[in-house]
Amino acid sequence: MSIILDKVNFSYSEGTAYHIQALKDVSLEIPDGQFIGVIGHTGSGKSTLTQLMNGLLRATSGSIYVDGEDIYDRDYNMKELRHRVGLVFQYPDHQLFETTNFEDVCFGPKNQGLDRKEVELRAYEALRSVGFPEELYFQPPFDLSGGQKRRVAIAGVLAMKPKVLILDEPTAGLDPAGRDEILGLVSKMHRELGITIILVSHSMEDVARYVERLIVMNRGSVMFDGTPKEVFPHYKELEEVGLAAPQVTYLMHELRRFGLNVDTGATTVKEAAADILRALQNEGQRK
Q: Which residues bind another protein (CB under 8 A)?
A: 13, 16-17, 41-43, 51, 54, 56, 79, 82-83, 86-89, 91, 93-97, 107-108, 111-112, 142, 145-146, 156-157, 160, 172-178, 180, 202-203, 205, 242-244, 246-248, 250-251, 254-255, 258, 260, 269-270, 272-273, 276-277, 280, 283-284, 287
- Residue among 8 and 155 whose Cβ is closer to another protein: 155
- Residue among 177 and 191 whose Cβ is closer to another protein: 177
Question: What's the min distance (Å) between Cβ of 25 and another protein?
Answer: 23
Three-state secondary structure readout of the chain? CCEEEEEEEEEECCCCCCCEEEEEEEEEEECCCCEEEEECCCCCCHHHHHHHHCCCCCCCEEEEEECCEECCCCCCCHHHHHHHEEEECCCHHHCCCCCCHHHHHHHHHHHCCCCHHHHHHHHHHHHHHCCCCHHHCCCCHHHCCHHHHHHHHHHHHHCCCCCEEEEECCCCCCCHHHHHHHHHHHHHHHHHHCCEEEEEECCHHHHHCCCCEEEEEECCEEEEEECHHHHHHHHHHHHHCCCCCCHHHHHHHHHHHCCCCCCCCCCCHHHHHHHHHHHHHHHHHHC
- Residue among 16 and 75 whose Cβ is closer to another protein: 16
Question: What's the min distance (Å) between Cβ of 269 and another protein?
Answer: 5
- Residue among 68 and 113 whose Cβ is closer to another protein: 113
Question: What's the min distance (Å) between Cβ of 156 and another protein?
Answer: 6
- Residue among 198 and 255 whose Cβ is closer to another protein: 255
